[in-house]
Amino acid sequence: MEREKFETLVVRAIENLPPEFRSKLENVDVVVDDWPTPGQLKKLKLRHPSQLLGLYEGVPQIKRDRGYGMVLPDKISIFQKPVEAQCRSDGEVEVKIAEVVRHEIAHHFGTDEKTLRKIEGEK
């Protein structure tokens, strides 16, 4: 899939978030990269780049206090090639992007990985 179309699907996934979440996305940039970097994989103790579909890097909103300010934006990366590798059609890519965006935004709001896996029905 062309990068521009993939990025459009990411924007659509953000726009389709419930307004109560979308309106509270503060100090966060969402970017599309082909693959995670070796440093991102190492930090998560992953061996293969196809294992990582998205990544939140920053200070979750629930951990921000009065001293939080004048900091670089948090970053949510959506990794195009691993997402595409898990999908057989453009429709599946769109659904997967929406899942990954919701998952990473949940981290932005402070939900940990264990809780998210439970919510998502994974073990």
Q: Which CATH class is domain 3-62+71-115?
A: alpha beta
Q: Can you give the length of the chain in residues?
A: 123
Yes or no: say if 6 and 97 are a contact pair by the CB < 8 Å rule: yes
Q: What pLDDT is stored for residue 63 in this prediction?
A: 79
Mean pLDDT value across residues 65-94: 91
Q: Residue 117 has what pLDDT?
A: 82
Its pTM stands at 0.89
Query: For residue 107, what are its two tokens?
Result: 């981290």
Q: In this predicted structure, what is the pLDDT of residue 46?
A: 94
Range with lowest mean pLDDT among 15-24, 68-77, 90-99? 68-77
Q: Where are the beta strands (DSSP E) in 1-123?
A: 28-33, 54-57, 74-79
Integer Cα distance of 120 and 26 in angstroms:
24
pLDDT average, residue stretch 23-28: 85
**123, pLDDT greater than 80:** no
Domain boundaries, the chain: 3-62+71-115
Nearest CA among 5, 21, 8, 10 for reference residue 101: 10
